[in-house]
Amino acid sequence: MDSSWDDLTLTFSHTSMFPFFDIAHYLVSVMAMKHQPGAAAIARKNPVSSWLTAMLHCFGGGILSCILLAEPPLKFLTNHTNVLLASSIWYIIFFCPCDLVSQAYSFLPVQLLAAGMKEVTRTWKIVGGVTHANSYYKNGWIVMIAIGWARGAGGTIVTKFEQLVKGDWKPGGDEWLKMSHASKLTMLGSVIFTFQHTEHLAISKHSLMFFYTIFLVTAKITMMMTETSSVTLGPFEDTLSRMLFGWQKQFSWCETKLSSNGTGSSASKPVPDASQNVKKKHNKKTE
């Protein structure tokens, strides 16, 4: 490509997240926390615990990657500026008189802008995670993918775990299984950036960051405009899963035979707890 284009992507990849993009990230995270039932009431009853929850929402990804790499989970607290920024955003969101911030945030354009900027920070986090993991384990590409994913999408896991411990949320076996659309996109990006970092992708990092960010933002915006989720990856996933896990369908005659006299495989023996799963599976098979 011509150098002007390179300059554009290069300058883009050098934009600092602080303060504006970080503010957008904290805003979206804390608003998501506030829309949980009873969050505002808890904030008045026990501000300390509400503040802790807000910190988990804002810095969850970093905390998870720290845990996975055996770094101090409190490391994010040493970045005083960001902690104070997030805290003040938490404060004005929860304690602003007349709930002005929530009302301002309830306008769609504001939400779109904030969400888009939050997606930009996601790219930066993934790249940071991949590079950081590589500094630990040379060519440990599985670790790089895992850390990039944890940095980018680990916040949801941390907050879910916090809700679980608090007893606000009882997992029904499936909640943990189905990844959200955002975490799928993050996983994809983490794989891409890892391959780029290990020089399996012949594309410069800054242009890759540019394209991936564009992709993330557009996907997010379209998802928010048309209240549909996981439109982008659906067919891709189907193909992949059919390639990897679907080719046994042609042997269904013997699986049905198995499940008829049920020997060997545990999934085909009708265990009470697993009955609905088995049913699901049979429906899948018959479709």
**3-state per-residue secondary structure call for 176-211:** CCCCCHHHHHHHHHHHHHHHHHCCCCCCCHHHHHHH
Burial class (CB in 10 A: 0-12, 13-18, 19+), 152: buried
Q: How far is the CB of 78 from its own copies (least distance, A)?
A: 4
Residue 131, classed as helix, strand or coil, is helix
DSSP-derived secondary structure letter, 248: G
Residues 191, 236 contacting (CB under 8 angstroms): no
CB closer to its own copies out of 218 and 280: 280
Contact 205, 13 (CB under 8 A): yes
Residue 233 touches its own copies, criterion: CB under 8 A: no
Q: What is the largest CA-CA distance in the chain?
A: 68
Nearer to its own copies, 222 or 241 (CB): 241
**Site track 192-231 with its own copies (rule: CB under 8 A), x = hit:** ----------------------------------------
The only residue of 42, 201, 223, 224 in contact with its own copies, by rule CB under 8 A: 42
Question: Residue 85 interacts with its own copies (CB under 8 A)?
Answer: no
Least distance between its own copies and beta carbon 284 (Å):
7
Span interacting with its own copies, options 19-27, 112-120, 216-224, 247-255, rule CB under 8 A: 247-255
CB-side neighbour CA atoms (13 Å) of 45: 5
- Figure out which of the listed residues 245, 261, 286, 287 binds its own copies, where binding follows CB under 8 A: 245
> Should residue 96 be labelled a site residue for its own copies when binding is judged by CB under 8 A?
yes
